[in-house]
Amino acid sequence: MATWSNLNLQDSASPLMEQLIFFHDHTLLILIMITVLISYLMFMLFFNHYTNRFLLSGQMIEIIWTIMPAIVLLFIAFPSLRLLYLLDEINNPSITLKSIGHQWYWSYEYSDFTNLEFDSYMIPMNEMSSNNFRLLDVDNRIVLPLKSQIRIIISATDVLHSWTIPALGVKVDASPGRLNQTNFYMYRPGLYYGQCSEICGANHSFMPIVIESTTSKNFIQWIKNNI
């Protein structure tokens, strides 16, 4: 999770988030190069005392500053399109999880297992223990196995919500009467925190998401204990 004074993106815990960070750095590098070039040109124009009194038009420079931005946009567009297709691709998921947004909590259903569903509420401050995170911890965590392809189906019962886990590169709208789906793959054990990212009412800030990534053995044991 992000810590104080951290201006960068969270450390990735999935291949998709790695690709998102690479694309972010790639685009940021191009923007820095453009900013430096434009700043240099403006500086030279402001402090240049020489002018060409015979210069009426410059077709060559106009061709250059039309073609160059188009080429730069292609360098951004192709990686962006590749990443969009990667985000939408779902191949043989091992587990399907259904997430339903309510005002103001999340409920989850493990569709591959019978009678396994629960609600997940934020832990109030007066019930928190010393190792809990304020406004982020919940009473019932999502437990999922690492190194498995997970498909998540997302919907809502009342208003628009958004199911978001930054470390996994997942952000999907939960729309009433509609099913949205995406997939993710976790390669590290740990706890991954998220929050609703769509303003959904007075308690919008108080419906966090917590995923506990664990080994397949521990996940199966957790399933047995909860069925």
Identify whether residues 70 and 111 lie together within a single domain: no
Of 54 and 8, which is predicted with more confidence? 8
Q: What is the pLDDT of residue 47?
A: 83
- Reported as a pLDDT band with limits 50, 70 and 90, residue 209 is very high
* Residue 55 confidence (pLDDT) above 70: no
Identify whether residues 75 and 111 lie together within a single domain: no
Identify whether residues 80 and 110 lie together within a single domain: no
Q: What is the pLDDT of residue 208?
A: 93
User: Which pairs from 175-181 meet CB under 8 Å and 24+ separation?
Assistant: 179/153, 179/154, 179/155, 180/153, 180/154, 180/155, 181/90, 181/151, 181/152, 181/153, 181/154
Q: Is residue 53 part of a domain?
A: no
Of 151 and 53, which is predicted with more confidence? 151
Confidence (pTM): 0.81
Q: What is the mean pLDDT of residues 76-80?
A: 91
Q: Is residue 173 part of a domain?
A: yes
Q: What is the mean pLDDT of residues 40-45?
A: 86
Q: What is the pLDDT of residue 45?
A: 80
* Residue 140's CATH number: 2.60.40.420
Of 10 and 193, which is predicted with more confidence? 193
Q: Is residue 113 part of a domain?
A: yes
Q: Is residue 99 part of a domain?
A: yes
Identify whether residues 101 and 212 lie together within a single domain: yes
Distance CA 55, CA 89 (A): 54
* Residue 127 confidence (pLDDT) above 70: yes
How many structural domains is the chain composed of?
A: 2
Q: Is residue 1 part of a domain?
A: no
Q: What percent of the chain has pLDDT over 70?
A: 97
Residue span of the structural domain in which 168 resides: 95-226
> What tokens were used for 225?
């204990």
Q: Is residue 4 part of a domain?
A: no
Q: Are 147 and 186 in contact (CB under 8 A)?
A: yes
Look over the chain and give the mean of its residue pLDDT values, rounded to a whole number. 88
- Reported as a pLDDT band with limits 50, 70 and 90, residue 2 is low
Distance CA 86, CA 107 (A): 27
**Partners of 155 in the β-ladder:** 100
Phi first, then psi: give them for residue 44, nearest 5 degrees.
-65, -35
Strand runs labelled E in 15-156: 95-102, 105-110, 117-120, 142-145, 149-156
Distance CA 180, CA 162 (A): 11
Q: Which residues contact 30 (CB under 8 A, 6 or more apart)?
A: 72, 75, 76
* Residue 107 confidence (pLDDT) above 90: yes
Identify whether residues 69 and 115 lie together within a single domain: no
- Reported as a pLDDT band with limits 50, 70 and 90, residue 211 is very high
Quickly tell me which residue has 């020489």 as its tokens: 50
